[in-house]
Amino acid sequence: KFKEHSRHLYLLGLILGGALFIGQVTQVVTATMSHPLELRRPWLLGLSFGAAIVATVFQIGGWRAIMAQLGSRLSWRASWPAYTIPFVARYIPGVIWGYLGRSHLLQTRYGVSPTVTNLSALIEAGGFVAASSFVAASAAIVTGDALLFGLGAAGCSLAFLGVWVARWLARHGAFWDRWLSLFGGA
């Protein structure tokens, strides 16, 4: 029964995401046609597109490494659609659709537990917070921007606190299992 419901939610998410994406593309095309676009350096557009592709490849590689450490080794062929499904969901209010789609795809096609898939997303998000905070704090040191440094340092502190809390929870899992069992199971 769960698989049937999740398949319907997955399909609904893809339909909604596709419709909203087509709507946004139509708006961009209409706005571009009414206001002619002038590219002064078109090669920069190509360069930035290439940089975005390279960054995406690195992100997928990092996510694959996280999944491998969690016990689910995925090929590059399996990783591309699984990693990019949440990109479609950016057009649907609420981020959860993309992650539900990723969990559904990996569970139905590759037998990966949704727990592992969702845990990998949390680890990845923590890594992004830590990396971007470190970059912000480093840039602030170079530029002398105190506000940016404070935000970067706060983000780094938040990331380290998250790691500490995760390690504490892992060591005290029995306590949390008993507590969660009071609310209907783990």
Q: How confident is the model at residue 131 (pLDDT cuts 50, 70, 90)?
A: confident
Q: List the beta strands (DSSP E) in the chain.
A: none
Can you tell me whether residue 111 is helix, strand or coil?
coil
pTM to 2 decimal places: 0.57
Q: Of the candidates 130, 109, 128, which has an alpha carbon nearest to the alpha carbon of residue 120?
A: 128
SS (H, E, C) 41-81: CHHHHHHHHHHHHHHHHHHHHHHHHHHHHCCCCCCHHHHHH
In percent, the amount of the chain with pLDDT more than 70 equals 83
Q: Within a 10 A sphere around the Cβ of 92, how many other Cβ atoms?
A: 21
- Give the pLDDT confidence of 11-25 residue by residue, as tens digits: 787 788 788 878 888
pLDDT tens sequence across 41-60: 878 878 888 888 898 899 89
Mean pLDDT of the chain: 81
pLDDT at 104 (0 to 100) = 84
**pLDDT, tens only, 143-184:** 888 998 999 999 889 888 887 887 777 777 666 666 656 655
